[in-house]
Amino acid sequence: MQQSLPQDQAAKLSRRSLLAGSLCLLVLPLSGDPAEATPEGMAEAMAQALGRDPSIKPGRVKVELPELAENGNSVPLKISVESPMSAADHVKMIYVFSEQNPVANVVRFHLGPRSGAARVRTTIRLAATQRITVVAQMSDGSLWSGGANVVVTQAACFDGT
């Protein structure tokens, strides 16, 4: 059949099939990515860590991130929580959640009265421009939260790019 077609028709067909074939090649590796992050994913991670419908009050938690992160692979994060850090009243846990990373849990810190202060620093990965939410759990069980917005110009390499 191919042989009997006019020259330009045959060329058109092969061009079309080539285009379709190359599209498949492009789509296949992308569709296998598990990296699906949403604010709902973060809500789910928060529910798992803190219980269903936790009463989280805004305040007492200060989160410092650069306003603009040129590279999402390593972004400095600084957290401080207002607390006397005494045996009776201290920060027990600090949770860091992301709404855009493939894994909503970013990092957790366990503190206690021997910490002396509720101050931690680390470096994190950011897959996209987003708001980072930090929740502090006090020794009386109360939950307080703070956050910071960060614009990411080059995302962390969570995928194949």
Partner 1 sequence: MPATRIVVPAKANKGDVIEIKTLINHVMETGFRHDNFGKPIPRDIITRFTCTYAGEEVFRMDLFTGVAANPFVAFTTIATETGDLVFEWTDQHGAVTRAQAHIIVT
Contacting residues toward partner 1, per CB under 8 A:
29, 32-35, 73-75, 96, 98, 101-103, 105-112, 114-117, 119-125, 156-160
Cβ within 8 Å of residue 152, ≥6 positions away: 69, 72, 75, 126, 127, 128, 129, 130
Question: CB-wise, 33 or 40, nearer to partner 1?
Answer: 33
Q: For residue 147, what are the β-bridge partners?
A: 133
In this structure, which amino acid lies at residue 109?
Answer: F
What are the Cα distances from residue 78, in Å, to 24, 47, 103? Answer: 44, 24, 20
CB of 2 to partner 1, least distance (A): 31
CB of 161 to partner 1, least distance (A): 9
CB of 93 to partner 1, least distance (A): 9
Q: How far apart are CA 34 and CA 3, in angstroms?
A: 45
Question: CB-wise, 124 or 143, nearer to partner 1?
Answer: 124
In this structure, which amino acid lies at residue 58?
Answer: P
What are the Cα distances from residue 29, in Å, to 139, 154, 155, 161? Answer: 47, 21, 19, 11
CB of 141 to partner 1, least distance (A): 19
Question: CB-wise, 56 or 107, nearer to partner 1?
Answer: 107
